[in-house]
């Protein structure tokens, strides 16, 4: 099995900062690990979870779709 190393993504912790979640990197890490964040409908506790275009992140009842412009 081969993996496409050119795949573009943004990490969950970075995305939460972009959408305006307040706090330091450590505080955002605690938010993620507390089970308060869902990715594609499932609770996500991995701080550096790779998000790709089309993924849906839910936090505090709000859903945010990952757009092509956010990933690198």
Residue 31 is part of which domain span? 10-70
Q: Give a yes or no: residue 22 inside a domain.
A: yes
CB environment 51-72: b (16+ within 10 A), e (fewer): beeebebbbeeeebebeeebbe
pTM of the model: 0.85
Q: Give a yes or no: residue 3 inside a domain.
A: no
Q: What is the per-residue pLDDT for 70?
A: 72
Local confidence band at 71 (pLDDT 50, 70, 90 cut-offs):
confident
Q: Give a yes or no: residue 53 inside a domain.
A: yes
Domain of 57, CATH number, reads: 3.10.290.10
Number of domains in the chain: 1
In the predicted structure, residue 6 carries a pLDDT above the cut 60: no
Q: Give a yes or no: residue 57 inside a domain.
A: yes
Q: What is the pLDDT of residues 8-55, one digit of tens each?
A: 899 999 999 999 998 899 999 999 999 999 999 999 999 999 999 999
């Amino acid at each position: 099995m081969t993996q496409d190393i050119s795949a573009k993504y943004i990490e969950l912790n970075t995305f939460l900062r972009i959408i305006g979640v307040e706090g330091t990197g450590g505080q955002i890490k605690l938010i993620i690990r507390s089970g308060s964040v869902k990715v594609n409908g499932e609770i996500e506790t991995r701080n550096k979870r790779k998000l790709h275009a089309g993924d849906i992140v839910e936090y505090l009842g709000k859903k945010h779709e990952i757009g092509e412009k956010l990933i690198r």
